[in-house]
Amino acid sequence: MTLPKNHPRYKSLMAREKLVNASDMVAKQGLIAHGRGEAFDYLLGEQTCLPALSAIKAAASALIEAKNPVISVNGNVVALAAREVVRLAEVSGAKVEVNLFHRTPERVAGLIKMMKKGGIDALGENADDSIPGLSSERAKCCSDGIGGADVVLVPLEDGDRCQALVDMGKKVITIDLNPLSRTAQTAHITIVDELTRCLPLLSDFVEEKKGIDSFDNKECLRDVLNYMAERISS
Ligand code: PTJ
């Protein structure tokens, strides 16, 4: 379908279109996840708020200092932001690994192919390692990827794995529009912002080496919730 560029919700409609066009690679549940994200983005005014900007700078610092950073991608992330992920991987030296909750060999191979079109060889197919304490398929990972990483970026996570990665001693960065989610509350650095909006900013800060070291995730989440509350009450 051709979307009229002057439609007031063009960007939002285009994102939905991307997910629907990749519907053999995006889990159906991913469409529900996207809708929840959209609702929270309305509360943010569909813009990067100041607390999110601090989290992005803290994430930049963690990626700059990391020895083995890995960006974990799922169906939604590849469909929406393959290009943005490739740029972040390039500027940060991070590996990319396809790691799925609704894992099938077809989806893993298809998503790796989509990342390849974007210009990067993603890991994920030869999952020779596992994340302890996880009973979902998402436990399957690669020893030269998530298994051996010191810093992991897990955008659009669904909660179980974030805690498991923290328990493994890894530094976990997440991108999640819902500041109340288990993932948002568990990660070391939570960027409460829309994926395609914050990734370019994150790449810029990494490239320009403009990170910040002093960051308190709980305080940041409180500031985001206050920001949303103020927007609603005004
Ligand atoms: O591809 P798979 O099989 O690994 O499955 C992935 C999904 C997305 C289905 C799975 O991880 C899942 O169910 O996620 P949840 O529990 O719905 O959590 C996703 C979180 O991402 C929610 O808190 C949403 O608010 C948030 N979210 C959705 N879209 C965006 C987003 N955050 C940032 N940017 C978005 N575009």
Cβ of 182 less than 6 Å from ligand 1: no
Query: Between 11 and 48, where is the model more confident?
Result: 48
The closest alpha carbon to 81, from 199, 203, 206, belongs to 199
> Which residue's CA is minimally distant from atom 20 of ligand 1?
156
Q: CA geometry: angle at 81 spanning 121 and 200, to 5°?
A: 100
Q: Tell me: pLDDT of 163 over 80.
A: yes
This prediction has a pTM of 0.96
Q: Establish whether residue 27 lines the binding site of ligand 1, counting it when its CB lies within 6 angstroms of any ligand atom.
A: yes
Instruction: Report if residue 93 sits inside a domain.
Output: yes
Q: Ligand 1 within 6 A of 30 CB?
A: yes
Give yes or no for a contact between 95 and 70, defined as CB atoms under 8 angstroms apart. yes
Predicted pLDDT at 7: 82
Decide: helix, strand or coil at residue 97: strand
- pLDDT higher than 80, residue 173: yes
pLDDT at 73: 98
In a domain? residue 10: no
Strand partners, 145: none
Domain that holds residue 137: 50-233
**Total number of domains in the chain:** 1
Nearest CA to ligand 1 atom 6: 30
For ligand 1, say whether the CB of 205 is within 6 Å of any of its atoms: no
209 — pLDDT class (breaks 50, 70, 90): very high
Q: Is the CB of 34 under 6 A from ligand 1?
A: yes
- Among the residues of 26-74, which ranges form H helices? 28-43, 50-65
As a whole number, mean pLDDT of residues 152-177 equals 94
Ligand 1 atom with minimal separation from the 33 CA? 17
pLDDT value at position 1? 67
**Residue 23 maps to a domain:** no
d(CA 187, CA 173): 6
163 in a structural domain: yes
- Asked if residue 57 belongs to a domain, the reply is yes
Which residue pairs, CB below 8 angstroms and at least 24 apart, start in 110-113? Answer: 110/24, 110/25, 111/25, 111/73, 111/74, 111/75, 111/78
Q: Over the range 196-216, which residues count as b (16 or more CB within 10 Å of their CB) and which as e?
A: bbbbebbbebbeeeebeeebe
Question: What CATH number does the domain containing 179 carry?
Answer: 3.40.50.12640
Asked whether residue 66 is assigned to any structural domain, the reply reads yes
**Measured distance CA(145)–CA(89) in Å, rounded:** 13
Any atom of ligand 1 within 6 Å of the Cβ of 149: no
Residue-level pLDDT at 217: 98
CA angle 139, 144, 146 (to 5 degrees): 40
Whether 165 is covered by a domain: the verdict is: yes
158 in contact with ligand 1, CB cutoff 6 A:
yes
Chain segment 98-156, per-residue pLDDT in tens = 999 999 999 999 999 999 999 999 999 999 999 999 999 999 999 999 999 999 999 99
Q: Mean of the pLDDT values across residues 210-232?
A: 97
Atom of ligand 1 nearest to the CA of 176: 32
DSSP-derived letter for residue 5 is: T
For residue range 33-76, list pLDDT tens digits in order: 999 999 999 999 999 999 999 999 999 999 999 999 999 999 99
Question: Looking at the chain, how many residues does it have?
Answer: 234
Residue range 71-95: mean pLDDT, rounded = 98
Q: What pLDDT, on a 0 to 100 scale, did the predictor assign at position 6?
A: 83
Q: Is the CB of 100 under 6 A from ligand 1?
A: yes
Which element (helix H / strand E) includes 213? Answer: none
Tell me which of 171 and 13 has the higher pLDDT.
171
On whether residue 82 sits in a domain, the answer given is yes
Q: How confident is the model at residue 9 (pLDDT cuts 50, 70, 90)?
A: confident
